[in-house]
Amino acid sequence: MKADPGAYAEWAYRGRPKITWPGGARVAFWVAPNIEFYELKPPVNPQRAAWPHPYPSVPGYSIRDWGNRVGHIRQMQLLDKYGIRGSVSLSVALCEHHPEIIEMCRERDWGVFSRIYNTRYTYGMDETQERTMLLDSMDTIERHCGRRPAGYLAPRALAQRAHARLVR
């Protein structure tokens, strides 16, 4: 295999400066759990079903519900034990449905980056509707977390359109 297949104008390894981690550490890792809320019966999007199996998806919903009731607390306790700070891929829906989890993230000064409802897609939205949804998501997270998210994890349709606009 060629080291550089010629697919990109940039190549991350050639000529890049040496990375130095705090305290001279040889390894760094990033803990970025998805903290999400999935709706049992989300609004219908005619272009894509929210659940890829029979509706409503009781198994898909229940494992995520367990995370919100039990899993996140256990995860936070483990990270606290080792002094690890997380950066949360935060579903904006959690702000409205589980503010107690948001408060636990605030207490730990975890970083956040935004996502929309995981059961609602941007398929069929025009650019203005997408922009409105993105800004609303970021505003909601800022209101609940006390700071604006540093980034946005886009759903597939949104990411595809953003990429298409960039390569034009």
Show Cβ contacts of residue 77 under 8 Å, excluding neighbours closer than 6 positions. none
pLDDT at 1: 55
Total-model pTM: 0.72
Residue 81 and residue 156 in contact, taking contact as beta carbons nearer than 8 Å: no
User: Mean pLDDT lowest for which of 32-41, 81-90, 94-103, 155-164?
Assistant: 155-164
Strongest mean pLDDT among 43-47, 115-119, 145-149 = 145-149
